[in-house]
Chains A and B, each alone.
Chain A
Amino acid sequence: MPYSSADASNGEAAIVDGPVVNRASIALGEALGRLEQGEKLSVPEAVELGAAVSEMMVYLTRWTQKAIDAEFREITQAIGAMKAEVGSLLPSDLSTTHLPIAERELGAVVTASEDAANAIMGAAETIIGADSDDPSYKELVDEQVTQIFEACTFQDITGQRIAKVMDTLRRIEARLERLGMPASDQPSAHQQASPAEADRWPSPSPAGEEGLLNGPAMPGEGIAQDEVDALFAD
């Protein structure tokens, strides 16, 4: 029976059911039965048996070779796909865009947190150092409290920046999973997050707003308030 790719996928059953194998098995079984009962095989019978066994050996060798070839082809394809995936990790938008952005976002978070902490401490120190008997004390406290409120706005901005970093981490996780290397056996941070936390992380923009929602710009980038005001002055 000529080898077909179905043989490899059918595995052992295909070998056992093959007419060549069946013929040789039957001939061998009969010969062994006769030998066990003290009978002897004639030379033509022995030659015929040898030919059947030989045919079976050729068949099995071919089958095994084809099966190994198919296995190797599959492995080669898998390695090729993995190479392409690994390759795509390096010059992709992940390494050229997302990771540098994530790094800058985290840097901006550190700076904003520090600035806010300093502003809040500065306002508190001004209040502590002020003379409460001074007639302008109330005004000074109001002014400093306003500065504390203003400084607290950093929390919203840093939240949005961290959301961008989380987005990058999710992209990395997805790439690793495609490579068959799950980042963790545990559910991802996003899966574990409370609905309120998850809501803070980026998700697809509503229809018609794609490209508009980018989160906070880096310091010195984006449009400044006076430029916005100029657009409204038109």
Chain B
Amino acid sequence: MYKNCSRREWLLRTAAVLPGAWLAGSRLGRAAGAPALPVAVARCRTYDAGELVPALSRMFDQLGGLGRLVSGRTVGIKINLTGETTYRLGYAPLEDTHYTHPAVIAATVHLLGRAGARRIRVLESAWSTAEPVEEVVLRANWEPRDILGAAPNVEFENTNYLGSARKYARLMVPTGGYLYPGFDLNHSYADCDVFVSLAKMKEHATAGITLSMKNCFGLTPATIYGSGAGVDEPSVLPNGGREMVHSGYRQPSRSAPAEKDAKSPRDGGYRVPRTIVDLVGARPIHLAIVEAVRTMTGGEGPWVPGGTLVSPGVIVAGLNPVNTDAVCMGVMGFDPMADRGTPPFENCDSTLRLAEDAGLGTRDLRRIEVAGTPIVQARFDFAGLRRARRANAVRQSG
């Protein structure tokens, strides 16, 4: 009877006949019941608006249209500007390797505006600074007006500190959280009706991959979760990175919710994926967009050795971040059902598995409807490059 199905399939089938009350509370039950929403995949070879805007527009239509999601609403878009603006992979512009490309941001803003968004707020916790995001992107050699002018009522906010509000917004994790029961964040993450994660498709040194969910690691203000955070109260200005969250060497400012268990593992491979899932639980993502027209392999930024510039020419978007990231992993040549010990999670837990267990969305590609370009046709073999890189490293060390 079970010869022709995998253990996982068997478990899922078996789950259908298990008592509902027990199932609802179990990991298996939550995974089986985790949402599965459509994900759109598109080939896009360049950042030219002439190719990019129609591609994104078509993808949003495949997801049911942006209008019903954003019309008359305030939209917060978390972009990815990881690391200092002065750090490039070779001579390559930041947006070609590890920053969300400004053309994709502008195109998304344009389409959100066209769909009736009342106000569009482009958000990022810029590295170790309270400078306005407009100034930060100038240092990256971008023209902020290209984004600000892409739709009416567009503004930036640097969420790495208190920003324009009088107090931090407390967002709690509905399930109680793996590591943190809640977070104190810049008001922008509470003051939006629709939240978009607009990420770059990359591998990640600590979390294996960085996609729409990992992008939310940067929600945390360094004034509370950074190396220079105040002990009792948030510092006024952000200083340093989030090593505190990675290694757990200290707690956030006492004014914010403390870790649930200060004796839990202090290993980044354990902590970072759980923190990401807690953040995505506290601040749900309504629209996940992951771009890889151009990106880098080998890590999340040029500080990770061995990275190379690549041109996968693909964009993925979905209404559920776990589903979207699962499709991204498929595009990258990884198995989204992989767990710790299997690439790209050789040394960490799978953020996707943890998110699925938390009931945030399924990572099972069989349950996810993919619109547009099939995964196999969009594939860019990050996994193969990773294997080759690691084999080469072993050879060199041997």
A binds B: no
